[in-house]
Amino acid sequence: MTTYRSRHALGGPLTPGRISELALPRTRLGRRGYRPEDVDALLHRLAYEVGERRRRLDLVEQENQRLKQALRTWQSRLGRRATR
């Protein structure tokens, strides 16, 4: 799997544990909340990684279907030989 690269995002692949433990830097004293650029960078990275995982899952599902069809074809040929 490719890893998202950004100067604002954490290094390495995201895992549920890393996301749960994530602490975004707070804004300076006198302001409330998180810095918008940090939140935007994290959301961008999460979107990228979720999309990448979806793409990889789609490829695995396609390969699974191909293998199932190949197995069915092989079993059919084997069954026809056994009945002769």
Whether 6 maps to a domain, the answer reads: no
Whether 68 maps to a domain, the answer reads: yes
Confidence of residue 2 (pLDDT cuts 50, 70, 90): low
Whether 69 maps to a domain, the answer reads: yes
pLDDT digits over 48-77, tens only?
Answer: 888 888 899 999 999 999 999 999 999 999
How many domains does the chain divide into?
Answer: 1
The residue range of the domain holding 60 is 34-82
Confidence of residue 10 (pLDDT cuts 50, 70, 90): low
Whether 63 maps to a domain, the answer reads: yes
Whether 18 maps to a domain, the answer reads: no
Q: What is the largest CA-CA distance in the chain?
A: 86
Q: Nearest CA to 42 among 17, 84, 14?
A: 14
| Global pTM value | 0.58
